[in-house]
Amino acid sequence: MFTKYFLSAVTLVSAATAAAVTTFDADANTNMAVYWGQGPDQQRLAHFCEDSTIDIIPVAFLNIFPDQVNGGYPGTNFGNQCGPETFVNKDGSDSPLLSNCQFIGPDIKTCQAMGKKVLLSLGGAIPTNQSINNDESAVAFANFLWNAFGPEDATYDGPRPFGDAVVDGFDFDIESEITGNDPASQYRGYGTMIDTLRIFFAADSDKVYYISAAPQCVIPDAHLSQPIETAWFDFLFVQFYNTPQCSARAYFDASYGRVGDRPSSISFDAWVNFVRTKALNKDVKLYIGLPAAPAVTYDPEMYIAPDDVYNLIDLFQCRYPKEFGGIMVYEATYSEQNLIDNKPFAAVVKSQLTDHECAKPATLTSSTVSSTSTFSSLSIPLSTENTSPPTSTSASMAGMHNSTFTVGPTAPIITGSSPIPSYNSPGIWNGTSSTGVNSGTGSLTPSHPASTGVWNAELAILLRPSP
């Protein structure tokens, strides 16, 4: 994303509760995702959730990763919605993780009661050095995200920036600087993070969680194409801006961003082909990502007006009824300030999505959604030591395995089956590990030809098989 940071005083806005909500449907082709957190003089999150046309809100950004701060807490920036105070690391040093974001947590719960899905977005354009050192760091990062932003766990004594609010998942908007010194650093660890988060998601039967990504329109995306091929994503908010030759603008002007003699055009068809042929989740939903106003991008020409947006919807919503998921807009404040016939940009585009003859919208319910649940946290350990007796848990490991699975006597025993076929190997070992976080030998249960991958020795679960 093109990112601006605003750190002025918090604007106080009262939040209203909707009397009727739209039940979120991940399979609809009319969904509207709108990023929030980096708008100029932005209003509270709850204010934007009063808009019934928004379905998904990625909260932006957790922008500093643990390996860039020597393994301490990661860093966040939500513009004017937090004070300058930060959490203190376990070693007593200051961290970049903001601790005074008192309205975001309550507002997340307000938004969820209105039927919205709220994701925490990781990355953004600043700083430019975001990366993960190795798979062990990736597992540790996922552990932190779950403990800090997932269901509360009485045994966890670390920070919870949003209090008792629980996000609906995580968005990966990785835009670190591309260098030739260590090409793998552009994508290393993200697949492992997602696979680890999926294990946590599966252990909470009370809630559905989602993983999204916001790749650039160029294929392959330097940061996210590899994780998309190896990990299970639900939504891809492809940024059809910032890169001229594959942007939405290029669809209307074949000379815009042209490289050589090849005409430019929006790369949505190419992304559909990429998903069909290479993505682990062949059913992942593709969104057309657009700037909400000319000021969002470095080139105002990349903004396209609603009339042109309709032409894209008319083409792709009908051409790809299975893959097309909706529109992503960056960003909420810019959208609200860009009024078309007295309606925000995102609201106008949402109407175009739902009113089209190829629309498959979600359903409207007559009561406010509200739910509470208790959860005992599952922590993915980083060592091979385990002296406690084994326990048993039943879980549906969506996107992880395609057979009944179990792990051996040195680790907590997990049993279950996956509704989503993915890997050829059941990927479960009898308490020892293969190539990856730890090394060793083991035998598959049930028996299956061995495969290499990223393993966790204590839970003995395949996190991601090698290509």
Please return the burial class of 409, using the count of CB atoms within 10 Å of its CB with bins 0-12, 13-18 and 19+.
exposed
Which alpha helices (DSSP H) does 27-134 contain, by range?
A: 45-49, 104-113
Determine whether 177 is an active site residue: no
d(CA 175, CA 221): 10
Q: Which residues contact 73 (CB under 8 A, 6 or more apart)?
A: 66, 87, 89, 95, 96, 97, 144, 158, 159
Please provide the DSSP assignment of 153-169 as one string: -TT--S--TTTT---SE
- The number of angstroms, rounded, from the C-alpha of 390 to the middle of its chain's C-alpha atoms is 32
Catalytic entry in 175, 331, 336, 458: 175
DSSP per-residue letters across 116-143: -EEEEEEEESSSS-----SHHHHHHHHH
Q: 33 has which bridge partners?
A: 56, 328
Contact 433, 442 (CB under 8 A): yes
**CB of 235 closer than 8 Å to CB of 194:** no
Strand 339-340 versus strand 343-344 pairing type: antiparallel
Please identify every residue annotated as catalytic. 175
